[in-house]
Structure 1
Amino acid sequence: MHSTSVAGTRAGAAGVATTPVPLTMRPPPLLPHGPTRAGRRATALLPRATRDAPASGRGSRPAGRGSRDGASAAGRAPRRAPGSGGGGRGAGGGLPPKGRPPKSAAPKRADAEDEDEPADVDGEDAAAAAASSDGVDDLDALLNNADAVKQLRATLLAGLTAQHEAAMREEAGLGEEEGASSSAPATASAPAAPAAAAPKAPAKQPAAPTPAPAPEPVVAAAAAAAAAAASAAAAAAAAAATASESPAAAPLVVLKKDKARLFVHGNPMVYGGAVDCVIGRPPPGVGDVVVVADANRRPIGWGVFNPHSMFRVRMLALQAEEDADPRGPLAAARLDVGALLRLRLAQAAALRRSMGLPGPDTNVYRLVNSEGDRLSGLVADVLGDTVVVQVVAGWVQRYRPEVEAAIREATGLSRIVWRPAWRILAEEGLTPPPEEQVQQPAKEQQQGKAGQEEGEGEGEAEQQQAERVEVREAGLRYWASPLGQKTGFYADQRDSRAFLGRVVRAQVQQQQQQQAAAGSSSSGSSSSSGVSVLDLCCYSGGFALSAAAAGASRVVGVDSSDAAVQLAADNAQLNGLAGVASFVRADVSDYMREAVQQQGAQYDVVVLDPPKLAPDRNSLARARIKYTRLNTLAMRLVKPGGLLITCSCSGAMTQSGEFKDMVIEAARQAGRQATALREAGAAPCHCLNPAYPEGEYLTNLTLRLL
């Protein structure tokens, strides 16, 4: 930035001495950023703004508008010099405007605004302003394009700056020699001021000279930039149209403001209340792949959609996971359900192998645990050489071929039993085909309503006996029914069954040591050691047989299902434990009441593993009453110093934290003092997603009762 002094305008023309005026070379203020009314108006007046140079500072009025100070020889108040500022700033006198001779008319009031300013604009000025306004109208649709706006502003600013400097040089009276570097054309120079001896009567105002053509290149540049931006926008629109027709395109599910955090952190269940809108034509249906974005349209992941479910989207992959490894397998599987299933199943199988599953003594385990394995709605258990798939989400049913192919590839097992839970799938908008409209278990599992949550179901005897497979757990052999309760076997209690076996074995050894110390003549057999176990709601006899194999002298299993009792008895026979373990078909509440009435009908260990009593939070209050009643009866059947292993597979009870409170109340009603020894959940193969606590459903609590 530099300045120079000017002794006057056109020396000797006016005959009036003037004070030197500093001439400051500065660019005009930047244009407004957005397509606002003020921005359009300012842009439309660009030719005049370059002719009547604006004052410095953002928001100042252009020079020549508003108040005028100083006096000319002709009696008209000249405009302030460019860069002189307003409000009295500057060097006193002013310079006549570029391209305009002084008028002989009386000056306007100092406080008057130039409402009549358009009347001073000749036809060419009006045409230039109209052309500029038309250019702005063409640009309105492009002003939201950041690149176009940036290019346009840079072009306009460069042209206006050069023209502004040239105009200021001409107004200062610099000749061509002094201003050879100026880019302003010669036609833009100001005419000489009239002589001081001019007649007093107002002379006819001479026609204004042709305005400087400098604005035309600027408008042309703006038009060129607009055309380029329009071309780019058209190309982008064409690309978007092509992408929308490609198989990789997916509808966009936009979340409401402040609703994205839960899902960014890993919760895979996008409930309907969190969705603001769904963008896509046609609207996505059951199982369609969608991209989930926050309120600012930033993607947070992708998943499968269901317009009928309370969970509108089940997330399958997070954007953060893909960004962490852009060339990794997860990024390669983006928006491809089949590829993602193969990847997730391979990861799930590898995780189980790291746990020793399958192993020489155990070949029954959970392969896929829904949200825990990032495949919400899909549950798969391995039963020996068979995989039982439980379907509780519409997308799993839709992609059945891909699911089965991924399971075969990950496990090498070809025998798959497909078990859709149609009562739940009905809420997902699906209906069973005619060939699958068969009688469902009386107490079908309630998985899926509140996420991955285990349940009970009492299957029909014909279904459970129709086909059996042999499995192994901790060296014990079991018949499992793929069409029975759950997926045919309760692999989630594997660790708790092993714990029971260790406890019984320790008690047997302790009794033997006590008898030996007392000099007893007992042979020390398991029958004489006297460890007794009661297994309530025994199903296939897992707890009962684990206790019998550990050396218990007497084991009784109780279940209300004929098929379950028969299955447990067959398992006892399979392991040579039929002489130790017996099984009774009865309602467990009735059985315990009768046992309490009998004197001495108590056990060293009582196991209570009832079916799901609270399928949802709405039934939690009633379920707590039932749990309390059952546990009170069970505690009365435990010998002093004995153990109660009590369980709940109701996710609502486990997640509410009320299970321990219920146990305390039951102990009070039973008149017993309880000491907590162990609290456990499902076996590790039932992995959980920490961001989805609703996936935790099983509570196993071991108490010592006095």
Structure 2
Amino acid sequence: MTKITLHQGKDKAAWQLHPWVFSGAIAKMDNKPANGTVVRVFNAADEFIAFGVYNAFSRVAVRLLEWNPERTVDGDWWRDRLKRSIGLRKHLLTADNTTVRLVFAEADFLPGLIVDKYGDFISIQVHSSGAELVKATIVDELVAQLDPRGIYERSDLKSREHEGLPDANGLLYGETPPEFVDVVENGIQYKINIVEGQKSGFYCDQRDNRWLTAQYAKGKRVLDCFCYSGGFTLNAFKQGAAEVVSVDSSALAMETLKRNVVNNGFDGDKHISVQSDVNKYLRKLGEDGERFDIIVLDPPKYAPSRSALDKASRAYKDLNRRGLMLLESGGLLATFSCSGAMDIDTFKQVIAWAALDAGKEIQFIRQFIQPEDHPVRASFPEGEYLKGLLVRVV
């Protein structure tokens, strides 16, 4: 097993259980390991720190796995970690919730691995060379633990390029998921597309926030932007919304949403679906003098890195300014950012600037976070990516 020694003063984060060792922190290696293989990491005083997996392509040259020198990182180690991660989520799987994130990468001490359960099927994403090398073991353990109808891989991620890995999509076990897989979240039925849908098929990270936002929706006119398969729309209807306008640029998303409205027995006459660029549609709504009681803004990641934060802040500000202009006094804006590079204080400042430009006085009345199946590991704060605000116009 290759021994990697860190530069003096570059070992603090590793001792504190942070899972990333950057290439610039490495002083020497006693040989060059193959990508994805397990290595031993030591400090400059030749003290053992942790086992990790190495990758020559990535800025994160070593992803640390295990700090106990008595443990062996082998197939049984990966199986044990998977069992623990799944066991911590089993209470979330109920008749009212059949979709849950079972593994959240570094947060579960399983770097580069995402596992989502969608009803009888499992969708996985592998975005590190270490997880790639043990993929067969991972699939075998998921079958043993969960007995799914099928396991489908959606590893078409930019991060794989950084790891020197090609995209990998396809069936890994059992049956190929049908065009629409049935799941339940918050007691609402969804038909989701695992094979062609966005990310791994569904955004279960907004489960709690959909329910919380919907508590204000009874009798209200709601605008759901970047609606995808309709999470906020359907929760609003379940809580008695008078009308919901849902907007997304994806034809597949709009088709899926329409099916979900019908399948849940909601009144289609109260639902307006619009396939459009959200910013253009918000501009048109403003020109037409439209007003709403509640607006949801759940855009894609605008800031993939810290270097993109300034540009992303301007995009968030403009988007939220347009949304706020469609609200009168008492109106609510539920606004989100899934950009890990943007912290909650910066996001608040951006929304405050948006309100100033929109000529609106606002109050922050609730903060939204990611749910418990997307935990934030204390030694890895980078895992806290989803944040949101419930904003009231006064």
Relative to the length of structure 2, the TM-score reads 0.94
Match 1:426 to one of 148, 161, 166: 161
By percentage of residues, which structure has more helix?
Answer: 1
Report SS of the residue matched to 1:297.
coil
Aligned mates of 1:380, 1:335 — CA distance in 2 = 20
Q: What is the CA distance between 1:579 and its match in structure 2?
A: 3.0
Aligned mates of 2:365, 2:127 — CA distance in 1 = 35
In the TM superposition, what are the counterparts of 1:314-393 in structure 2 within 5 Å?
A: 314-319=63-68, 331=71, 334-336=72-74, 338-353=75-90, 356-393=91-128
Q: What is the CA distance between 1:548 and its match in structure 2?
A: 0.7
Equivalent AA in structure 1 for residue 85 of structure 2: A
Q: What is the CA distance between 1:501 and its match in structure 2?
A: 2.2
Q: What is the CA distance between 1:431 and its match in structure 2?
A: 3.3
Aligned mates of 1:664, 1:386 — CA distance in 2 = 42
Aligned mates of 1:432, 1:552 — CA distance in 2 = 41
Aligned mates of 1:572, 1:407 — CA distance in 2 = 32
> Are 1:306 and 2:55 matched, yes or no?
yes
Deviates more, 1:410-419 or 1:284-293: 410-419
Q: Please tell me whether the aligned partners of residues 381 and 389 of structure 1 are also in contact (alpha carbons under 8 angstroms).
A: yes
Q: Residue in 1 aligned with 2:187?
A: 475
> Are 1:692 and 2:380 matched, yes or no?
yes
Aligned mates of 2:45, 2:156 — CA distance in 1 = 37
Equivalent AA in structure 1 for residue 147 of structure 2: G
> Are 1:288 and 2:74 matched, yes or no?
no
Question: Cα deviations across residues 286-331 of structure 1 (Å, max 9, x unaligned)?
Answer: 1111011111121111011111111111111112xx6xxx6xxxx3
Aligned mates of 1:378, 1:684 — CA distance in 2 = 17
Q: What is the CA distance between 1:581 and its match in structure 2?
A: 2.3
In the TM superposition, what are the counterparts of 1:371-450 in structure 2 within 5 Å?
A: 371-421=106-156, 423-431=158-166
Question: Cα deviations across residues 105-160 of structure 1 (Å, max 9, x unaligned)?
Answer: xxxxxxxxxxxxxxxxxxxxxxxxxxxxxxxxxxxxxxxxxxxxxxxxxxxxxxxx
Report SS of the residue matched to 2:328.
strand
Aligned mates of 2:343, 2:123 — CA distance in 1 = 26
- Between Structure 1 and Structure 2, whose CA radius of gyration is higher? 1
Equivalent AA in structure 1 for residue 282 of structure 2: M
Q: Residue in 2 aligned with 1:72?
A: none
> Are 1:681 and 2:369 matched, yes or no?
yes
Aligned mates of 1:660, 1:422 — CA distance in 2 = 29
Q: What is the CA distance between 1:361 and its match in structure 2?
A: 0.6
Q: What is the CA distance between 1:432 and its match in structure 2?
A: 5.1
Match 2:23 to one of 272, 276, 300: 272
Report SS of the residue matched to 1:619.
helix
Q: What is the CA distance between 1:398 and its match in structure 2?
A: 2.1
Q: What is the CA distance between 1:414 and its match in structure 2?
A: 4.8
Let me know the Cα RMSD of the aligned residues: 1.7
Return the structure number with greater relative CO, CA threshold 8 A, min gap 6.
2
Aligned mates of 1:431, 1:417 — CA distance in 2 = 16
In the TM superposition, what are the counterparts of 1:550-569 in structure 2 within 5 Å?
A: 550-569=239-258
Evaluate the alpha carbon distance shift between residue 414 and residue 270 of structure 1 in structure 2; reply closer, same or farther with a 3 A threshold. farther
By percentage of residues, which structure has more strand?
Answer: 2
Equivalent AA in structure 2 for residue 606 of structure 1: I
Question: Cα deviations across residues 350-369 of structure 1 (Å, max 9, x unaligned)?
Answer: 1102xx22111101011000
Report SS of the residue matched to 2:232.
helix
Q: What is the CA distance between 1:412 and its match in structure 2?
A: 2.9
Runs of 4+ in 1 over 3 A off after TM superposition: none
> Are 1:633 and 2:368 matched, yes or no?
no
Equivalent AA in structure 2 for residue 682 of structure 1: Q
Aligned mates of 1:279, 1:676 — CA distance in 2 = 55
Report SS of the residue matched to 2:341.
helix
Equivalent AA in structure 1 for residue 308 of structure 2: S
Q: What is the CA distance between 1:385 and its match in structure 2?
A: 0.8
Match 1:643 to one of 332, 349, 373: 332
Aligned mates of 1:405, 1:359 — CA distance in 2 = 24
Q: Please tell me whether the aligned partners of residues 223 and 295 of structure 2 are also in contact (alpha carbons under 8 angstroms).
A: yes
Identity of aligned residues (%): 35
Aligned mates of 1:303, 1:411 — CA distance in 2 = 27
Aligned mates of 1:422, 1:556 — CA distance in 2 = 31
Q: Please tell me whether the aligned partners of residues 327 and 393 of structure 2 are also in contact (alpha carbons under 8 angstroms).
A: yes
Question: What is the total number of aligned residue pairs between the two structures?
Answer: 386
Q: Residue in 1 aligned with 2:202?
A: 489
Report SS of the residue matched to 1:605.
strand
Deviates more, 1:477-486 or 1:409-418: 409-418
Aligned mates of 2:88, 2:35 — CA distance in 1 = 30
